[in-house]
Amino acid sequence: VQLQASGGGLVQTGGSLRLSCAASGRIFTNYAMGWFRQAPGKEREFVAAITWTYRVSYADSVKGRFTISRDNVMNTLYLQMNSLKPEDTAVYYCAGGSGPTPDHGMAYWGKGTQVTVSS
């Protein structure tokens, strides 16, 4: 199973980026998927998740600015990030769930894509 994240880069404060995560080796249609991030010197933290029925959840720090979505035909996960702030700077990881909701945990992890927001 491979999860390949892409779309990261350098953007100014207030800008936007769209991350993609292409999954292969497993069909995630009936499983939750999510995005996590890790900033330098900090632990990995939850960003957003989406269940197999498209129910979404977000960390308080990104609510109203980030939108998670999925395309089950393409087996791809997305994260639209708007109104970016310097504190959003981190390596962003996509993850594939062990079950239909995030409560079941994440079993598969991608390698991450760097997002840097300049002030």
pLDDT digits (tens, 9 = 90+) for 43-67: 999 999 999 999 999 999 999 999 9
Tokens 């491979």 appear where?
Answer: 2
Residue with tokens 């977000």: 58
Residue 95 to residue 41: CA distance in whole angstroms? 21
The confidence score (pLDDT) of residue 18 equals 98
Average pLDDT over residues 98-110: 93
- Amino acid present at 25: G
| Distance from the first to the final alpha carbon of the chain | 37
Return the sign of the alpha-carbon dihedral for residues 66, 77, 45, 114: negative
Per-residue pLDDT at 1: 87
User: Which pLDDT score is estimated for 39?
Assistant: 97
Q: How much is the mean pLDDT over the chain? A: 96
pLDDT at residue 27, rounded to an integer: 86
